[in-house]
Structure 1
């Protein structure tokens, strides 16, 4: 059996594309569960040797997409002190130093490891929103980027960067169109501001292949963070209920895949800007992941505060209360636990499923008591955050025998319950010391538990 590092790159099986139903991804004919990791400053903060350590770790865990931006600020420099742009001008990329050759090398590293790179050519909330990149210079920069990276088979293009689409609508729309025109075979999406989705501005655009939303880093009670919060109440936001963003986007036409491109990061402050606030931890990132995927998302993007900024110097204060070195954070539990969800979805064939809250006979709860259900012809998955009893209608399975197990989302281990049949059944999660969340797995007789 080949190891993950020896396995065929996914694009060698066929183009990464949206499935015919407009809800999921596939490489050729093989379903593709998109599991992304957030590495915004990958090209700026790490040496080549460090980049390999990070990328190999993510590949070995089972991630298949890495999100990073080429330029985070107009005066962006790499570790060697070389600038990305000449005098901060987007129309004049600096090809004299090592900035772009270093980017080339890391991009090639990702290709050799079989990883897709979700690339933002520029971080929108700083460079575009400020006007440094505008309709007068965007084409010169896009010409450079698209020509240089046209032939990489492992690129997913991402417009935006933690910014509302209407902050520079014409520029963002133009970038998306240029990306798709340059190579129609590359997927394109948009990374929005917190508590918003790309669908708010670009859902009907031909260049947009799938929606990203940012459920964000705030608690239910953290409605507004004052001066920097440029959202509007009329658009609605859903607190920590990431599944509601999925439901909203899946209700739009045309059908497009959707996923949470930025949920709460592991070990980031709740609400971001107040260091007196507690941190989001592994149990929280699990909740965001299962809620969104069981609501119909085509995958999930994980993030860790120390990794997204590659915090490596404890002599300086990290952003948003970073307290761990990135090299330690890549071994934190939340990142490893995301892979249990990916394996489960691949095993049952989640792309054949649909959100099925109507199968729930238990009274549906609010906030953390919410139970999410994803069902297909031969399987049913249900997730409880608080360890609630789960009562289900099984009428859709026509009296067939179903093998029932509990999956521990912390360890990925399965506990066999037994065979169930009939019109309904009730299940009580096992108690454990390291959390209360649990995944119920029902599968048609013969497939068993993993």
Structure 2
């Protein structure tokens, strides 16, 4: 237990009849409490001050990206595991987290009070989070592996050991929004402070909300109170954001509020460009705040929740969402698989909305591997100066629905603010024109980057004049490519390499 060591010390005195010289033990307890030594001795997340500062995340100076406090860029590549704390055991959590770490993910999004009856159905070890569903009374028992929160501790610690942050949702939205809510202002703040203290030294990002929009001022006050509690508990050591429902973003509710460090969207489970263009809308808001898509279309998910009419998504649908978001200014991206978010096991759990396979099989689906190629591409060019650039780089056709296109066939572009490089995402094999002379440098080096394999193919060097037409090397429907153009004098590495 990491929250009340004075009580723990008293317990040892009362129950250890072999202890000699109890007076000196009591003095030791007092000294350690006054020095802050108790927490340092027992915290499951303890590290030296220098290590913690390096791992702490902050907002970049230009308010567009995340970085470590030592200035190192942080690419938020999230995976969605809403039921991770609720439906897995240690062996399963280890299997899942180790797979995601190998694939280059940096954040795992999970919910303390899970959507699927997380406060009334016990976790894999038979534990519930609260006494009588009361957020003022977390169910805490002495010892290790004795309660719900001990298992949350285990998962958070395991993730951190694998250099994964937890995108930590204190609760799913149903518990502050639906029917007769469990949360009010008072217990939301109390619960937030409990979590903040417990995970003060963990590598986490707080994500409030949980797939619900705010419909009245009372609901906003509950969210604000929980955010205040988290900050009071952890000393504002962690970033905070808000996860809304489909097609919406945190900006429409909290953009100007100081507690909201960055904006999160749920662009939702559609395959067309329309929803994803809203990332650019939030990027353009003032004051500037970083923005990302915390819930795009999941892999193998019924498109628009209509399995019979529209079928299930595939990896190419997931890649389009990734690059549409990133090239519209997002600082990172979240992937999800329809079986993994619910930790679906056909032998143990009921299926939600037609999952196609178990989560153990789903972690090997191609989309999860291909997400890292987007991260590697972005990290291979200047990080903090990247901007959206579709209008600057791409030449609009006489028929704009053809180029830059719409629906599934929307082309998008990004570059850095100094125009030393540009990237154009081509979701389909179609000729397109680029304004070469927007870029700096007398010579432009061109590459094709394959988002399915992460491999780059060198095209050649061109004089930097006027407009130039390109078509992908393997044109076809649903075969996407990325054209990378560099100022040759910069001698940037092969795309996707550092």
Using the size of structure 2 for normalisation, the TM-score is: 0.80
Q: Offset at 1:397?
A: 2.5
Matches within 5 A, 1:148-163: 148-152=198-202, 154-163=203-212
Q: Offset at 1:432?
A: 6.2
SS in 1 for 2:303: coil
Matched, 1:174 2:221: no
Whichever structure has more helix as a proportion of its residues is 2
Q: Which residue of 1 aligns with 2:408?
A: 368
Deviations 1:98-141 (A, max 9, x none): 21111111111111111111101111134544411112422332
Q: Offset at 1:148?
A: 1.5
Q: Offset at 1:180?
A: 3.1
Distance 1:212 1:121, change over 3 A: same
**Segment drifting more, 401-410 vs 275-284:** 275-284
SS in 2 for 1:205: coil
Q: C-alpha distance in 2, partners of 1:359/1:277?
A: 34
Matches within 5 A, 1:234-245: 240-245=273-278
Q: Offset at 1:434?
A: 9.0
Contact 2:456 2:494 in 1 (8 A): yes
| Structure 2 residue ranges without an equivalent (≥5) | 1-49, 398-403
Contact 1:18 1:209 in 2 (8 A): yes
Q: C-alpha distance in 1, partners of 2:81/2:394?
A: 38
Using the size of structure 1 for normalisation, the TM-score is: 0.89
Q: Which residue of 1 aligns with 2:187?
A: 137
Q: Which residue of 2 aligns with 1:405?
A: 447
Q: Which residue of 2 aligns with 1:236?
A: none
Q: C-alpha distance in 1, partners of 2:52/2:476?
A: 41
Q: Which residue of 1 aligns with 2:267?
A: 215
Matched, 1:61 2:113: no
- Alignment equivalent of 1:349, drawn from 382, 395, 400: 382
Q: C-alpha distance in 1, partners of 2:349/2:237?
A: 43
Q: C-alpha distance in 2, partners of 1:420/1:11?
A: 47
SS in 1 for 2:304: coil
CA RMSD, 1 decimal: 2.1
Distance 1:29 1:313, change over 3 A: same
Q: C-alpha distance in 1, partners of 2:344/2:264?
A: 26
- Mark the structure with the bigger radius of gyration: 2
Q: C-alpha distance in 2, partners of 1:400/1:166?
A: 55
Q: Which residue of 1 aligns with 2:293?
A: 260
Deviations 1:256-280 (A, max 9, x none): 0000000010011112265554001
Q: Offset at 1:384?
A: 1.3
Contact 1:262 1:301 in 2 (8 A): yes
Q: Which residue of 1 aligns with 2:85?
A: 43
Matched, 1:85 2:125: no
Q: Which residue of 1 aligns with 2:485?
A: 442
SS in 1 for 2:185: coil
- Alignment equivalent of 1:425, drawn from 468, 471, 476: 468
Contact 1:250 1:256 in 2 (8 A): yes
Distance 1:432 1:393, change over 3 A: closer
Q: C-alpha distance in 1, partners of 2:138/2:189?
A: 12
Deviations 1:368-400 (A, max 9, x none): 232101012321000011222221112223452
| Structure 1 residue ranges without an equivalent (≥5) | 1-8, 221-239
Matched, 1:283 2:316: yes
SS in 1 for 2:154: helix
Q: Which residue of 2 aligns with 1:193?
A: 245
Contact 2:292 2:332 in 1 (8 A): yes
Residues matched between the structures, number = 422
Distance 1:122 1:310, change over 3 A: same
Q: Which residue of 1 aligns with 2:420?
A: 378
Q: C-alpha distance in 1, partners of 2:276/2:293?
A: 9
Contact 2:428 2:475 in 1 (8 A): no
**Segment drifting more, 272-281 vs 88-97:** 272-281
Matches within 5 A, 1:249-328: 249-272=282-305, 274-275=307-308, 277-314=310-347, 317-328=350-361
Q: Offset at 1:181?
A: 3.9
Q: Which residue of 2 aligns with 1:95?
A: 140
Q: Offset at 1:193?
A: 0.7
Q: Offset at 1:83?
A: 0.8
Distance 1:155 1:76, change over 3 A: farther
Q: Which residue of 2 aligns with 1:123?
A: 172
